[in-house]
């Protein structure tokens, strides 16, 4: 499965199976959010758009994986 994310460099597709970790960060003003995605090849993606949608998708995907 792949996800499409908007990064500072433009739209990027990330293979979910390559994700090692992801982190949701709320900025101090609580108005902006960032999703950091780390992949197996040590790439870091910083995502600012549709953070909650992607976070829910990733949580759902990895919860299924941990349940099996």
Q: Which domains does the chain have, with CATH numbers?
A: 2-67 (2.40.50)
Cα 32 to Cα 52: distance, rounded to the nearest angstrom? 11
Q: Distance between CA 33 and CA 46 in Å, rounded? A: 10
Q: What is the pLDDT of residue 30?
A: 66
pLDDT at 13: 92
Band of residue 66 on the pLDDT scale cut at 50, 70, 90: low
- Which tens digit of pLDDT belongs to each residue from 3-35? 888 888 889 899 989 999 999 988 777 677 899
- Checking if the pLDDT of 41 tops 60, the result is yes
Q: Whole-prediction pTM value? A: 0.79
Find the mean pLDDT for residues 29-48: 88
For residue 28, how many other CB atoms are within 10 A of its CB? 6
């Amino acid at each position: 499965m792949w996800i499409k994310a908007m990064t500072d460099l433009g739209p990027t597709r990330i293979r979910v199976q390559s994700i090692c970790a992801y982190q949701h960060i709320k900025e101090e003003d609580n108005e902006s959010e960032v999703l950091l995605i780390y992949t197996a090849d040590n790439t870091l993606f910083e995502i600012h758009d549709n953070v909650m949608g992607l976070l829910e998708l990733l949580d759902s995907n990895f919860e299924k994986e941990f349940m099996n």
